[in-house]
Structures are given as structure tokens and as C-alpha cells.
Structure 1
Amino acid sequence: MKALTTMQAAYWVGRQSEAPLGGVSAHLYAEFNGCDLDVERLRQAVTALYLHHPMLRLRITVDGQQTIDACGPRHCLHIDDFRHTDAPEAANALDAKRRQKSSQKLPLEQGIPCDISLSLLPEGHSRLHVDLDMIAGDAMGFRVLMEDLAQFYHHCPAAPDNDGVPYFDYLDRRHADTELHQRRTRAQAWWRERLAQLPPAPHLLRAPERCQSDRLALQLSAAEAQALADAAKAHRVTLSSLFLALFAITVGHGWNLRRFRLNVPLFHQDAEGIEGIIGDFSNLVLLGVELNPAENLPAFCRRLMDHLAELLAHADYPGVSVMRDLSRLHGSMQPSPVVFTAGFGIRGKALFSDQVTRTFGPLDWVISQGPQVALDAQVAHANGGILINWDLRLDAFPDRLPQRLFATYSALLQQAARHPDSFRRPLAQLLSQCLPETQAPVRQLLHRLLARVAPGVRLRDDDDITALPAPEAALLALLGVLNKYLPVTLTPQDLAAHPTPAMLAALICERDPNAAKGAQMLLKGLAPQA
């Protein structure tokens, strides 16, 4: 019997919490669409999986300790037979099963942190459903689970010789590691010196109600993934930093923030001797983000990665402990509800090996859930390209906002893939080009007013306003009109830092989410310049 780790304890407390976004389990659920599976072989493989990985039989005791149950009748493959139902009825049953499992709380008190079931469908088709509570195994542990399940399906091994728990042995080694304790003490001091300077987390945009978890997903093709990899390499940034930077730009736009923090999970940072073990080896760092609209994308990527490298050097002090220290400093709980995970560095590159997808079929659905998390974004190689997956608590967002933000993130990625030259444009301009539908009225208003300041001069979105043959007084008059009729406060310094109509429109919309509506009203009363 062992005490829960810092991360496990946070998950355990969070699933019982009544705080906003609390009361849910931290778990990862996936579905694979297959064909012609041998049910008996799969049944034997699942039994072998439970025998070989003790953490799949993890039980949490009433006093919050973790122990391992003996393998019993509940540790098996569960089967739902829909082979003789018509197509609409089968589809409804699968949809109901997905909804139930996407938000379920596995009964850890009964020694069941893992749920594996098979839905049998007409014409030999099937759907494999796998759910793992993250107290028992992290995202890399889920990958181990699937790899071993595929291996055992093809070559079922004999029962293991001993009853040891490799994960508990790992915890014992860490507890006895005096050098680790020293590094942790140094990292704790480093973090505490910087707590007061940490930016705020993106705030919840709506008071969470009944838990409504869902996902938004985009599968990039092999060509698109290669184009992004080539562009990142050409600008000497990593693929992970590119996806992280564009995500940070999207969050800044969605929450109207220049400074904020993100949770960045870490997996298997000290991987020696733990390969193939299912357990919670995760950690997280609190990444402070500061957006500079005039900075270009490569510079932002490098700044982010330099900062992340500094955080990783002090990750021996757990991120959950940093969050607790931060809450004590501010006198209230300081959550970090937005998470970003890049899985590009995993061994074998793809999220699941060819053997997994050949055996069980392609990944059809994956969703994670966790207490205090409103948006968990993940990117990883999958299905020959790159899978972008956003796991959401829809009840924490105004209607349709997550879809609009996801569309913005997708547009930024497509812009980077198709137009590598856009990397050198300022971030504000890069974003504005991906939001034409929201910023078009503001740009149109700017063009109309600028035509009055400099009659006869035709402007494009990327032209420099400050280079026009217009007196300084006229430009100040332009700012005065904008400040009078739009609820923003623009200064000559703002104009100097955002000198094009596209950049200035992006700044106006960033400061006032309703600027487009105000611009449309002004345009109705503003006659076109002859």
C-alpha cells in the first residue's frame, strides 16, 4: 500500500470537489473501429493485460491510499452485441455508449480503474472501447496499454511469475533518491521566488453547470503535416513550439488577454527503467505567456521554447505543488483551466503503432477529462498526419465560442502550412488574416476614414498608414474619431506599433470584442468617399 503521489492526490480530490469544473474524474477514453476480430482471442488478451499490469487493478482505500486488488471477474472484456439490430438502432446505441463512457467515473474504490469493452456490429465490424483513469496510468500509460493489448492478442503470454508492482517499486526508488530531494528543494526555492510574477490563468467564461464534455477534432493530412514541419525547420523552430505558439495566440484572442498562463503536461521525464510500465509518471509546468502583437512567429516560438526549457530545468518541484503555493499566495484557489499537450516527441512518432491500428482499426474517437480543466488541447502524429484534439467542458463557455476558437486555430495552422512567408509578419497581422469575418467591418471603416485623410490614395490592408502623405494632425484626427465612436483608447504609440489597417483592426477587435458591430453602425451613416 502506498500514499498517492502529488498528481494522483490532485486527481482524487478533484473528482470529489464541488468547486467549478470539479466533481469529474481524470480519465482518457478512446474508440477503435475494427473488423473481423476474434472475440475469444481478445478476451484472453484482456485477461493477460490485467495480469501483467497491476495498476489496471488499482484500488483507492477509504483513507486515500493506493493498493492493488487481485485479478477477479470484473477485470475482463465486456461485450455488447449489436449484430442483429438495424443500422439506426445500432448507431443510437453506440452514441449512447460513447456519451456515457466519455464522462464516466470508474469505481476506483472497487479496484476498477480500467474499462475495456467491445461492441459487436453487423458484417463482422466492431468497435473497441477503452477507458483508463489517469490516477492509474497517464497518457503514455494508455499507449503502453494499447500496444500490449495488440501484442497479447497475437501472442498471449503466460501468467507473470511474481506479484510485484513495478510502479510501486519506482515510487520507492524516488522516495530513497536523496539527489532528487535536493533538486526538488532547489526547484521549490526557484519557483517561490517567481510566484508573484506568474501571469493569471485564463478565467472561466461562463459559470460551469452540469458537466458537458465534448471534443473538437481536426485531422491534418500527411501533406499538411509535412508542410508545417518544413516551415518550422526553415525558420529554425520546433514543430511543438509552432503548434504551442499558434495555440497561445488563439487563447489570447479568445480571452482578450496579453498575459496568461497555460498548463503544459510532462510525461516520463526520467524514463530510465520505467519503459513499458503503466502508472502515473506525469507532471506539469505553468507556462507564462506574454503576447507581443508586433513580434513575428519564429521569434515568439523561440521565446516560448527558451522559457519552457527554463521551466523544465526546475520541474523536479511538481507543478501541482506550484499551483498550491500560488493559491496560498493569493488567498484563493488559482486553477489553470487551459492545457496544451504536444505529443510529437514520443517514441515511434505516431500516437499508436501500425500493429495497434492493424489489429483494432483506426482511432475513431478520443477524449480526456479532468477536474479544473475547461480546455485540454492535444496535438500528435496519427493516421499518417497530425491529429488536433480539443477536449472541452462546453458548460464553461458561451455558446459556439469553442467552435469559433477552434476555427481560428485551424485557420492559423493552415495559414502557416500554405504560406510560410506569413511567419515573418507580426502576430497581430497573422491573426487578423485568419479572422476576416469578424474584422472586416473594422478594416472597411479604417479604409473609409483613411480615404478622407488622404484623398486619392488607394490603401491595401498591409500598407503602412504612417507613410501616407498626410499631416500628423490628420492622423491624430483619425485616432480621435475612432476613440469617439468605438469603445477603445488608441494612442499615437498604438498607431506606430500597428501601422497597417489589418494590424490596427486586429488591435481594435482585441480591445473591444464588439468593435465590428460598432463599425457596421458607423459605416451605415458614413457616405462613401467619391
Structure 2
Amino acid sequence: VDRKQLAAQLFLQLTHQEHVLSRLTTEVESKLAELWYQLLPVNELGKESNFFELGGDSLLATQLVTLLGQHGLSGKQPLRTLFIHPTLADFASTLSLGETEQLAVLVHQDEQRFEPFPLTEVQSAYWLGQTPGMPLTCGTHYLLELQGEKLDIDKLTWTWQQLVNRHDMLRATITNDNCQRVHEYSQKFKINIDIQQYLHLAQAQIAIQTWWQQSNSEHLQQALSIKVCQYGNGDNYRLAILFNYIMLDGYSIMLLLKEFATLYQKQELSLPDISLTFRDYVTQIKSNEQTIKDAESYWQQRLLDLPPTAQLPMVKEPTTMSHSLFTRRSHNFKAEQWFAIKAAAKQHGLTPSILILTAYAEVLSQFGGGQSHTLNLTLFDRQNLHPDVAHIVGDFTSLVPVAFSPDTSLSTVEHAKKLQIQLAEALEHRAVSSIWVQREKAKLVGRSAAALPIVFTSTLGMTDDLLANTFSGELPSFTPGGLSATPQVWLDHQMYELNGELFISWDAVEDLFPESMLDNMFAQLINLIDQLVDVNKPFICQLPESQQQVRSK
């Protein structure tokens, strides 16, 4: 049976199936429907409408919960409840009408634009994690590579200079007192691109890797660096762009690439003005004191129940390694395969991210002795409190811990639904982050035992259409390669959608693990993802013999 083909057919049936929708009858249902219309690509809603079947995901769910309070709707643990009761009528029945919640109003403070302001919790962790003497130190960088036969260096330089002038965080540096400061326009932030000539592509790739390793070994502050390698007869180019995670999160990088492609191809175009800065956002966003207190209480109660990170076999003790050298494994699922997986998720009211997270957690458990474990999940937590929040660049990253307990009696969909509910609870209490949780747990079990160095990062639902059909024509195209690095991280799973395909990569500290283990783990993940089109069965997988031998030792 071709499961992918069956799932693709099912997705088409679900997409084009005409549902008989019952008319909304209560004021709460009508108010809720108004919010769903804002968030979901739908023209008609009824009592039976399912938030996740209509394209909702965890990101849209958190945005919906924020909107509830603004429109006088409230309920107990609404995010968790939405995942349990995703139909409009069922979810509406858990809500009540009350007073409209007054949220913060963000305003641009031009007179303070170039004054220092505090690092966020994650920025501070990234910066301090690079301190000499710390284990597994490295830069916080994301390397992107593009390749093509045409590249206008003058136009490339001009375009990126426009973006540096446009976005404050491309001109930011970190001060000695753990703050950051945006600088006014100056020669210091003038884009200079040096072109190097090489005989062939392999030499260009080696040069980029050497440049990457050198840059990632230094305590660099600049948000952006660019290297151009020209090779062959002079008409071939390899373009490498190095982004600094301290200044830019994953969504910000995608946004910059979108604007770069737009301006490079249409220099006469003027991008819309941005009336807010990252500094405005960071200094004005304040969590409710009761919300913080509730989150701290929730995580305090869970400290001893949270299992440790996956107990993967290691050949080196992480605390003895002074510097991290990352390597990458990557795979992309073609549109048909990815379409089928999304069909399976939609059929069961799951988000595609949760299905992939379930497979990832299962692989970590298998290679970690079949034990329960906790991983760090990356959030791009932009609160939609100003029309331009989605247009500014910066590091909006936060982290939440998510635990996984393997159970062979559960089907894949049952595992995923269990994980989805847990994620909803974690998001309900994201007012304190995983960094806080690890710090508190370290007081009980020690720093090493409390650390969560295995990460899951997904921009699905955020950037799916942002770069669609953008890099075309005279622009170089995305190419295999690239890499990322984060201090004190062992393994980072990353994924995004582009032009209908799913791209997955693992960036890991190779020297920590037994030879070939990461290859086997990644192959096992791809195998499990292939099985996701039939989620009513448990995962079918077996630990490779070589890894069974490692485990037995």
C-alpha cells in the first residue's frame, strides 16, 4: 500500500469536502467566530468547524488566546482547552463573556532610540555562553549559502546597505554591562563585500567553511557578515551570509531574506516605513505579575517530574570540551510527501510540527535507552500589540521545556495528542522560560543534570509563504550547505517550509557522540517521518545493531 498516495488523496477529499455547517446561535460563538475569521483562511464557519482542520497551529492558537481577552472572552486554561475541544461550539462552551482586557499599547520612543537597553533572557544566555572558560563555547551564528551564475556585486552591496540602514538591530552591539545599543548610521556599519576568486566550487566551499569556523570561534557582535566566492570561469558565484542569533531570530532572518530579494530585483521599490523598533518592544512589553506568579508555581511543581535530557551515548564529557564544532545533516521532503504528512495531521486535529516533534522525541528516546526525556522547544514569541511587530527584526526567541515518555501501547497519533496537550500547558505558562526552569532545577540536582542541551526549532506556520517564489530570476538560489551554532547546545533540530517542501536539518557537536551515531539517528528520523502518513499505528523502528552494541556497553 502506498501510504503517501492514500494520504494525499485523503487530504484532497478533506480540502474539497463540503461540510454542512450548523448556524451559530450564541453570542460567544459569534464573537469567537469573528476571531477565527481574522486568523484562519476561511469564508464560512459553523458549530462543527475545527480550528486545526482549518489550518490552525500552536502559533495561531496562542494569538487566538491573546485576542480572547481583548474581546471580553475568558476561560480556564484556554490554550489547553482549545487543543482538547477544537470545534467552535465546543470551545465556545468553555468561554464566558466579561470585561475587555486592556493590553499594553506600544509606541515608538524616538528620543531613546540610541540609548542602551537590557538584553532579553535568551540574548543574555547566548552572550554569556560565549565566555572563555565555559564548556562548549562558540558563536551564535546561522550560515546561509546561495549559488548562481549571476550576481551583481554593486547591487548586492547597495541592497544590504539599505537593509542595515532600515533595521536598527543590524546596527546593534552589546555593551560591557550586559545591555545592547543601537548605533546611528555611520561608516562603522557600511557594507563592504570582498570577492575572492577560486578555481572551482570545492575550493569555494572550503573557503566558506574556514571563514565560518574562524567567525564562530570569535566573540563577534555584528549582526551580519557576507562573503562572496567567485569560481570557475568567473560567471559562477557562491554567496555566504552569516547572521548573528543574538541580534536576529529565525523569523527575522527569513524576513531579511525576503526584503533582500525584493530590493535586489526591484531597486526602485520603496519598502513601507516601520514605526516601531525592537528596543520599543523589549522595553515596553511587561508580563502580568499574576501571570508570572502562576507560571513560576506551575513549573516549581513540575521540577522533579521533568525527566533529564535524553541520555544519549557519548564518547566525551561535555563539561570537558572547551569549544563546540558543529556539523550538519539535512533532508528535504518533496511537496507530495509533505502534503501527505500534513493530510494525516489535519485528519486528526494535530499540527504538522507536533507530528515531527513526536518522531524526533521518539528517536531521542530510542537512542537514549528507551527512557523519558525533556527537550527545549524554541518559541518565536512576538506579541501582536502593534501593526509593525511582524516587520521588525530582533531576537524574540524564548524556550519552553517539553517532556516525552515513550509508550509502546500508544499509536503515533495518541503519542502526538498527548504531546500536543503538554505543549499547550507549557505555552499557557511561558511567562517564565526554560532558562528559568533549568536554573531552578539546578538548585536541586546540579547544573549539568538540569541542563537541556537538545533543541527543537520549527518555523512552520510562520515563514511558509514568506519566501515562496522569491529567489528567482537573476538571484542566486538556496543551496545545500549552511550551518548554525549555539553555545552549550548538543543537538538542534530545525525545519521550515519553502515552496511546498519541508526542509529539515540537524546541527550537532559531532565530537560528543560515537562514530556514525548521529547518521543513524537522523536516518531513523527520516524513516519515522515517512511513517507519519499512517498515524494510527505505533512507530515501526529498530535500533541499528551498531548502536545496540554501544548501548550494551
TM-score using structure 2 length:
0.71
Q: Which amino acid aligns with 2:211?
A: Q
- Name the structure 2 match of 1:60: 174
- Name the structure 2 match of 1:104: 215
**Alignment of 1:371 onto 2:482:** no
Distance 1:62 1:300, change over 3 A: same
- Name the structure 1 match of 2:298: 190
What pairs with 1:330-369 in structure 2 (closer than 5 Å)? 330-333=445-448, 334-347=450-463, 349-350=464-465, 352-358=467-473, 359-369=475-485
- Name the structure 2 match of 1:242: 355
Question: What is the CA distance between 1:4 and its match in structure 2?
Answer: 1.1
**Alignment of 1:69 onto 2:107:** no
Paired residue secondary structure (2:154): helix
**Alignment of 1:233 onto 2:346:** yes
**Alignment of 1:31 onto 2:145:** yes
Question: What is the CA distance between 1:258 and its match in structure 2?
Answer: 2.1
- Name the structure 2 match of 1:467: none
Return the index of the structure with the highest Cα Rg: 1
Paired residue secondary structure (2:194): strand
- Name the structure 1 match of 2:26: none
- Note the alpha carbon deviations across 1:200-238, whole angstroms, 9 max, x for none: 112462324453211000111112112222232334432
Paired residue secondary structure (1:24): coil
Paired residue secondary structure (2:282): helix
Question: What is the CA distance between 1:344 and its match in structure 2?
Answer: 1.6
**Alignment of 1:425 onto 2:537:** yes
Paired residue secondary structure (2:417): helix
Paired residue secondary structure (1:256): coil
C-alpha separation in 2, matches of 1:108 and 1:57: 16
Alpha carbons 2:126, 2:246 under 8 Å: kept: yes
Paired residue secondary structure (2:456): strand
Alpha carbons 1:102, 1:367 under 8 Å: kept: no
C-alpha separation in 2, matches of 1:158 and 1:345: 27
- Name the structure 1 match of 2:379: 266
- Name the structure 1 match of 2:196: 81
**Alignment of 1:199 onto 2:307:** yes
C-alpha separation in 2, matches of 1:102 and 1:266: 27
- Name the structure 2 match of 1:136: 247
Distance 1:431 1:66, change over 3 A: same
C-alpha separation in 2, matches of 1:126 and 1:332: 46
Decide which moves more: 126-135 or 3-12. Answer: 126-135
Question: What is the CA distance between 1:161 and its match in structure 2?
Answer: 12
Distance 1:407 1:24, change over 3 A: same
Paired residue secondary structure (1:356): coil
- Note the alpha carbon deviations across 1:262-306, whole angstroms, 9 max, x for none: 100000341343111111101010001111122110000000001
C-alpha separation in 2, matches of 1:290 and 1:17: 36
**Alignment of 1:118 onto 2:156:** no
Question: What is the CA distance between 1:108 and its match in structure 2?
Answer: 6.4
Question: What is the CA distance between 1:158 and its match in structure 2?
Answer: 9.7
Q: Which amino acid aligns with 1:371?
A: P
Distance 1:405 1:44, change over 3 A: same
Paired residue secondary structure (1:344): coil
C-alpha separation in 1, matches of 2:257 and 2:344: 33
C-alpha separation in 1, matches of 2:549 and 2:213: 37
- Name the structure 1 match of 2:365: 252
Decide which moves more: 284-293 or 156-165. Answer: 156-165
Paired residue secondary structure (1:424): coil
Question: What is the CA distance between 1:331 and its match in structure 2?
Answer: 3.4
- Name the structure 1 match of 2:391: 276
Q: Which amino acid aligns with 1:13?
A: L
C-alpha separation in 2, matches of 1:326 and 1:393: 24
C-alpha separation in 1, matches of 2:426 and 2:277: 29
Alpha carbons 1:114, 1:132 under 8 Å: kept: yes
Alpha carbons 1:351, 1:381 under 8 Å: kept: no
Distance 1:76 1:181, change over 3 A: farther
- Name the structure 1 match of 2:13: none
Distance 1:103 1:253, change over 3 A: farther
C-alpha separation in 1, matches of 2:188 and 2:269: 18
Larger relative contact order (Cα-Cα within 8 Å, sequence gap ≥ 6): 2
Q: Which amino acid aligns with 2:228?
A: L
Distance 1:387 1:313, change over 3 A: same
Distance 1:30 1:228, change over 3 A: same
What pairs with 1:44-55 in structure 2 (closer than 5 Å)? 44-55=158-169
Distance 1:512 1:133, change over 3 A: closer
- Name the structure 2 match of 1:150: 261
Percent identity of equivalent pairs: 25
- Name the structure 1 match of 2:18: none
C-alpha separation in 1, matches of 2:375 and 2:420: 13
Alpha carbons 1:54, 1:165 under 8 Å: kept: no
- Name the structure 1 match of 2:278: 167
Question: What is the CA distance between 1:148 and its match in structure 2?
Answer: 1.6
Decide which moves more: 235-244 or 351-360. Answer: 351-360
Q: Which amino acid aligns with 1:302?
A: K
C-alpha separation in 1, matches of 2:348 and 2:377: 23
Question: What is the CA distance between 1:157 and its match in structure 2?
Answer: 7.2
C-alpha separation in 1, matches of 2:214 and 2:519: 20
Question: What is the CA distance between 1:96 and its match in structure 2?
Answer: 2.8
Question: What is the CA distance between 1:153 and its match in structure 2?
Answer: 1.5
**Alignment of 1:91 onto 2:129:** no
Paired residue secondary structure (1:376): strand
- Note the alpha carbon deviations across 1:151-200, whole angstroms, 9 max, x for none: 222344799999997011111211xx4x5343223212221121121111
Alpha carbons 2:377, 2:457 under 8 Å: kept: yes
C-alpha separation in 2, matches of 1:74 and 1:106: 22
C-alpha separation in 2, matches of 1:158 and 1:36: 21
Alpha carbons 2:306, 2:403 under 8 Å: kept: yes
Q: Which amino acid aligns with 2:375?
A: L
**Alignment of 1:438 onto 2:545:** yes
Say which structure is richer in helix: 1
